[in-house]
Structure 1
Amino acid sequence: MSRSLRKAYNLSPKISIIVPIYNVEPYLHCCIDSILAQSFTDFELILVDDGSTDQCGSICESYKGKDDRVRVIHQNNQGVSAARNRGIEASKGDFIGFVDPDDKIAREMFQQLYSAVSHTTIDMVICPILTINVVKQTRTTSQLWREVNRPLLNETITSDIIPSMLRQHRSYSIYSCNNKLYRRALIRNKNIWFEEGRQHSEDVRFNFRLLPFARSIIFIDSTAYLYFVRPRASLTQSFRTDLFDYIADNRRFNESLCKRYGDIQALKTVRHVFILTSLNFMQDVVRSDLALEKIRAILSTIMEDEEFKKNIADCTVPSPYYKLLKWLCMNKRIELFIKVVKAKATLYSVMGKAG
């Protein structure tokens, strides 16, 4: 049935595509154009302007005036999770897809995704993500689960896929919400939403909570979502000083999953990842242009954390350098930790210039 006939009979679209938007004016046209150019046309595009202070709101309205599939929601700034949730609330499609406003999608993406789920009991379809790093000039494609192009039932999801994600620390292209179609009824009936106020790993948590309720999912081997890693103004602007709170919270969440699925090996992996992620964040803090007292305070908070102290003692680290960082943390040598990280950064800078 044509789009005009569907509108005349007040029929819902097959897909609702939700784009949460906040101050991305340089990239927004490219994103929206790639969606409106889809070979699959039976969709509504919900643009959620989350209190942008640039011209994003006006850009959204201009597209609304050009294409009757575009709906625009303006709200005060509440964060990406709240924007996505507002889009879900407003959605009318049988399926929901998400696109970030500084990315773009291949012309066939939603045709390929919808073809995999229509007329079936599949609740989620997943495709790989092509990451384009414009700084390093590299391209990488995310991996999928080993079985593609055929439905995987709930037993496989809960017995194999989720435990493997935890045990192997693999995403199988599941972490992100942007490379998927979700059956809207699954989200609404199970009352699972993005955690509002959360600024890190919000889509990972959403998917981990939703997956156990899916009747079946399917992976398709068609790389159609293009995720861009762009230049950062400064390291201080690109990371949250309270990121350790999120890292620790992710550990607690993942530990609860491991216990639910009774996987002791996965529990060890979760704690190992917690320590390595914490050490990497601590290095970012030292390399930032934060005031020295702020750097010391953040490092001290982490080194004094009881779970950090307990888990770092049992963690097997990957190199002599990380063994040194481990020893410095266990002995709370904050000043020496700072000197070691800065010395490594200086050495790499000299080697880079020499090369």
Structure 2
Amino acid sequence: MSKENMVSIIVGIFNVSRFLREKSLSCIFGQTYNDWELILVDDGSTDDSGQLCDELASSDERIKVVHKENGGLGSARNVGLDAAQGDYVWFYDVDDEAKPNLLEYSVQQMESHELDMLQFSFRAITPSLGVQEDVHLNERMIEGQKQLRDAFLDDILFVRNGNGFAWNKFYRRSFLEKNRLCFENQQIQQDEVFNLKCYHYIERLYLSPVILYDYYIYNTGNNRSRFISNRFDIYVSIREHFETLRKDWSINNSRFENYLQLRFYGCVDQSLRFNMLHPDCPWNRRKKKGEMERVLNHKYTIEAIEWARENVEGFENNIYLNAYRKRSIGLLSFASTFFSGLRKVKHSVLR
């Protein structure tokens, strides 16, 4: 393959010295394809991650390091995109593992099919539970917006994590630049919004059943497990990107509607039951009451709760719906503690 097929591997770095020390990016150096540049963007790390990046760069001229003030993964990836010089872009997460042939296979597919994007299959591994699951995409070559629209629900959106990440996707850099595609700065689910924006412009996409990546799911240490003050606003923004895609593609599908409503109902739970009751939440009771009112009065929340009353069954769900109806933080807190404790007891008995 010619020099023109260089891959820009972009990695956002923030306080990941553990993984840099343990893995030393070995799955990158072990690739069967060597025409790559590795752009490590140190996003204001407060541990020695930045120093470790510099040490890695001193050992290989293909590695570039950019140090910046903390701005989140989205801003770090945008800095990486600005520095990228390769024909293709791949975003790697340092706590995961890539198969040795990931780059070689992906470049071959991008070249032979002249793709805007490649999406490949992966293995999801949960170390704490000792379980793993192979997530295979249905093989499909998509040409044009109509085919993409027809394939979107069953072959992308309804596949586990099919839309939600960037690490199992290969992007043509000229495609991203032509359409001015970049990441937004929300603290969670930047990948999903980025991909939703890409779908408006993709003309050639290949869904590959080949597993090229091991995705590790950890219980702690990620943004999903933390208190985030604007969590609900992030969920609203994601929903708005879905609505934009629905309007652009004229989607009129009950399955898609049910997906959006169920998902946003889960977002309400995450914003109130998880985020507002999080042990790190600094809000006093007055602030929590105001946040609860703000969330429950939003139009998407009203639609989702109305949908849940008709479509989500179970005693636990009825208790939470009652707490939302009464605007009761006390009932919400009690129910959350009670059912969480019940699940822990159940889990310990079944072990």
Report the TM-score, using the length of structure 1 for normalisation: 0.86
Take 1:353 and 1:295, find their aligned partners in 2: how far apart are those partners?
Answer: 33
Q: CA deviation at 1:256?
A: 2.4
Q: Contact between 2:31 and 2:101, CA under 8 Å: does it hold in 1?
A: yes
2:260 aligned with 1:270: yes
For 1:222, what is the secondary structure of its paired residue?
strand
Q: Contact between 1:121 and 1:215, CA under 8 Å: does it hold in 2?
A: no
User: Aligned residue for 1:175?
Assistant: 164
Take 2:221 and 2:199, find their aligned partners in 1: how far apart are those partners?
Answer: 36
The alpha-carbon distance between structure 1 residues 352 and 119, as it changes in their structure 2 partners (threshold 3 A), is closer
The alpha-carbon distance between structure 1 residues 120 and 237, as it changes in their structure 2 partners (threshold 3 A), is closer
For 1:174, what is the secondary structure of its paired residue?
coil
Given residue 323 of structure 1, which amino acid in structure 2 is its aligned partner? Answer: N
The alpha-carbon distance between structure 1 residues 307 and 51, as it changes in their structure 2 partners (threshold 3 A), is same
For 2:200, what is the secondary structure of its paired residue?
helix
Take 1:171 and 1:127, find their aligned partners in 2: how far apart are those partners?
Answer: 12
Give a deviation string over 1:217-250, Cα, whole Å, max 9, x none: 1122222212222242699962424311111222
For 1:151, what is the secondary structure of its paired residue?
strand
2:11 aligned with 1:16: no
Q: CA deviation at 1:272?
A: 2.7
For 1:349, what is the secondary structure of its paired residue?
helix
Give the counterpart of 1:100 among 93, 97, 112: 93
Once the two structures are overlaid, the 10-residue window that deviates more, 129-138 or 291-300, is 291-300
User: Aligned residue for 2:346?
Assistant: 351
Given residue 165 of structure 2, which amino acid in structure 1 is its aligned partner? Answer: S
Once the two structures are overlaid, the 10-residue window that deviates more, 109-118 or 315-324, is 315-324
User: Aligned residue for 1:191?
Assistant: 180
User: Aligned residue for 2:143?
Assistant: 153
For 1:240, what is the secondary structure of its paired residue?
coil
Q: CA deviation at 1:305?
A: 3.0
Q: CA deviation at 1:177?
A: 0.8
User: Aligned residue for 1:322?
Assistant: 317
Give the counterpart of 1:243 among 196, 216, 231: 231
Q: Contact between 2:91 and 2:166, CA under 8 Å: does it hold in 1?
A: yes
Q: Contact between 1:20 and 1:47, CA under 8 Å: does it hold in 2?
A: yes
The alpha-carbon distance between structure 1 residues 79 and 152, as it changes in their structure 2 partners (threshold 3 A), is same
Given residue 106 of structure 1, which amino acid in structure 2 is its aligned partner? Answer: K
Q: Number of aligned pairs?
A: 342
The alpha-carbon distance between structure 1 residues 309 and 159, as it changes in their structure 2 partners (threshold 3 A), is closer
Given residue 276 of structure 1, which amino acid in structure 2 is its aligned partner? Answer: G
Take 1:172 and 1:54, find their aligned partners in 2: how far apart are those partners?
Answer: 30
For 1:49, what is the secondary structure of its paired residue?
strand
For 1:270, what is the secondary structure of its paired residue?
helix
* Runs of at least 5 residues in structure 1 that lack an aligned partner in the other structure: none
For 1:223, what is the secondary structure of its paired residue?
strand
The alpha-carbon distance between structure 1 residues 175 and 15, as it changes in their structure 2 partners (threshold 3 A), is same
Q: Contact between 2:219 and 2:225, CA under 8 Å: does it hold in 1?
A: no
Take 2:159 and 2:195, find their aligned partners in 1: how far apart are those partners?
Answer: 14
Q: CA deviation at 1:172?
A: 6.3
| Identical aligned residues as a percent | 22
2:20 aligned with 1:28: yes
User: Aligned residue for 2:244?
Assistant: 256
Once the two structures are overlaid, the 10-residue window that deviates more, 68-77 or 259-268, is 259-268
2:125 aligned with 1:135: no
Q: Contact between 1:255 and 1:270, CA under 8 Å: does it hold in 2?
A: no
Q: Contact between 1:163 and 1:263, CA under 8 Å: does it hold in 2?
A: no
Given residue 270 of structure 1, which amino acid in structure 2 is its aligned partner? Answer: L
The alpha-carbon distance between structure 1 residues 318 and 115, as it changes in their structure 2 partners (threshold 3 A), is farther
RMSD of Structure 2 on Structure 1 (CA): 2.7
For 1:130, what is the secondary structure of its paired residue?
strand
Q: How does 1:220-239 map to 2 (within 5 A)?
A: 220-232=208-220, 238-239=226-227
User: Aligned residue for 2:34?
Assistant: 41
User: Aligned residue for 1:279?
Assistant: 269
Give the counterpart of 2:207 among 182, 202, 219: 219
Take 1:14 and 1:45, find their aligned partners in 2: how far apart are those partners?
Answer: 11
Q: Contact between 1:165 and 1:171, CA under 8 Å: does it hold in 2?
A: no
Q: Contact between 1:27 and 1:103, CA under 8 Å: does it hold in 2?
A: no
Take 1:325 and 1:51, find their aligned partners in 2: how far apart are those partners?
Answer: 39
User: Aligned residue for 2:302?
Assistant: 309
Given residue 230 of structure 2, which amino acid in structure 1 is its aligned partner? Answer: D
For 1:18, what is the secondary structure of its paired residue?
strand
User: Aligned residue for 2:119?
Assistant: 126
Given residue 183 of structure 2, which amino acid in structure 1 is its aligned partner? Answer: F
